[in-house]
Amino acid sequence: MSLEMLDVILSVTGGFVLLVMMSLIRRKKVTNYHLPPGPKRNLVFGNLMDLIYSSMITGEPSLLKFAKWSFQYGPICYLRFFRQRVVVISDARVAQQLCAAQSDKFSTRPPGLFLSRVLKGKGIVFNDGPSWKEHRNFITHEFRKFGFGNQSIEHKIQYVVDEYLRQIAKTNGGVHDPHTNIATAIYNVIWTTISGERFSWDDPFLHKIIANLETNLQAVELTGPHNYVTLLSIWHLIWHNAFRLLCIVMKRMFYFKQLICKYKKHRKETATSDVDESMMYDYLVKMQGSKLNGQLTHFSESQLLWLVSDLFIAGGETTITSFRWVLLCLAKFPEVQQRLRHEIMENFGRDSSPSYSQRTQLPYLEAFIHETLRFSCSVPGMWRNTTQDAKYENYDIPKKTWVLLHFWAMSNNTALWHDVREFKPERFLNNDGTFCKNENFLAFSAGKRQCPGESLARTELFLFTIGVLQKFRVTLPAGQDIDVHAGQFGVTYTPPHHHLQFIPIGV
């Protein structure tokens, strides 16, 4: 054996021994904790090899593997991936108790998460610290200012709903993919909220954004093995064509930069109240004011760019996915659709546009929307990170533990829901037919990271669903059926590809 070969063997052996020693030291450090139950862990790699095998070898989505672990070991399940501690929460009540009651301990994102490392403090979704707090406060203030949760925002949504219905009418009951029309409508609501402006329906620039965002979300996995080990992150980039991913992201940011530039140009040319009364205008004013006054701020052109991107994805793509599921469920379950239409017609007729505040008059519709959100779970999971040691009952959750709020598992847990794979709006109805909340349901997260656009999303789903049911009967093409359990996991849980028909209802 050559000296070079011996040197390599000794180096590899030494490295492995070092890993074992580090794992033993770390294991000794956590022996004082009473950790939640979980699967048996390898001394060095923990549960990483199991996740790699299921995700990379068998092709099983990593979120499904996490769900299986949580279903086997309970609502709070402990895992370890190499040196990283992970806790999976698959019970909405547990999530509320941890993230709401102990919100200060569960309000950050994992710093080592693949997207967190890539974004490095940009935007709001995967941002943390003072920058996140400053932008979160700004977004919350702007949402209140522009009427989120009241009728002033509903008028803007209804305008888009009416245009959406006109576009559907142009299909003349023909078979088509509903995705583009839905995305155009929802992104118009988002852009109106951000800038006070609207896209034209056939705007080719908007359609480029739609295609880019769809491709971008399909390429991202938040729970895969590459999130826990740097070497696997590099492999993930190579395997998934890092150059292609980089081009997609760069193109997306180029599109949004163009949008911002167009807005600035329009604002200079037309000093109208419509342009000035917008979230982007307030951001630019705040940014400029901080510069002039010499104030330390995280407001910048770069942050604005990523903030707009995050609002389109978090505020737009999630609602688009949810409404795609709404339409698919209407077509898949015609008896549910008929009952919904009867309730709407009986209370408001064909031409009236109810306000979201009148939803108590439509309990079955509200139950239907909640069941669709449970059944589809458009955002299947999201990460938190513990900044301090925390406890749940007699279990310890050490500092720097990554906590996966597994919304899909919460919605598909047979210990919490009867006939979990059945579509039953009645789950959210009392015996007297009135709407009732279910403590096992959690669609918009909890605590300080709860979705700030929840009221907007709920209002959009309410108004768009009513509009469609008043004018059209939604059906699958003749002779076709769709497996509604064959969705695709990613940042969102998207429905299987499908086509629909919108048959006009006679006057």
Point out the annotated binding site for heme: 451
Q: Distance between CA 456 and CA 444 in Å, rounded?
A: 12
**Which residues, other chains included, contact 480 with Cβ-Cβ below 8 Å and sequence gap of 6+?**
499
- The Cα–Cα gap between 3 and 9 comes to 10
- Tell me the chain's radius of gyration from C-alpha atoms: 24
Cα separation of the two ends of the chain: 89
DSSP states of 433-502 as a string?
Answer: S-B---TT--SS--GGGS-TTHHHHHHHHHHHHHHHHHHEEEEPPTT----TT--B-SSS-BPPP--BEE
Element (H, E) at 395: strand 395-397
Give the DSSP letter of residue 299.
-
| Total residues belonging to the chain | 507
Q: What is the DSSP letter of 35?
A: P
- Assign residue 198 a region (left: φ > 0; alpha: ψ between -120 and 50; beta: otherwise): beta
Q: How far apart are CA 27 and CA 43, in angstroms?
A: 9
Place of tokens 């569960």: 106
Task: Specify binding-site residues.
Answer: 451
Q: Which tokens hold the place of 231?
A: 């070497």
Amino acid at 344: I
Report which residue type is found at 188: N
Q: Are strands 501-504 and 472-475 parallel, antiparallel or unpaired?
A: antiparallel
Which residue shows structure tokens 């576009």? 167
Give the 3-state secondary structure of residue 385: strand
> Per the structure block, which two tokens stand in for 380?
């299947």
Helices and strands counted in the chain (H then E)? 19, 8
DSSP class of residue 216 equals H
CA distances in angstroms from 434 to 88, 353, 425, 428, 437, listed in the order given: 34, 21, 12, 8, 10
Alpha carbon of residue 386 to chain centroid: 20
The alpha carbon of 128 is separated from its chain's Cα centroid by a whole number of angstroms, namely 17
Give the C-alpha distances (Å, rounded to integers) separating 145 from 168, 190, 277, 284.
Answer: 32, 15, 10, 16
d(CA 504, CA 474): 9
Beta strands in 317-394 (DSSP E): 382-385, 390-392
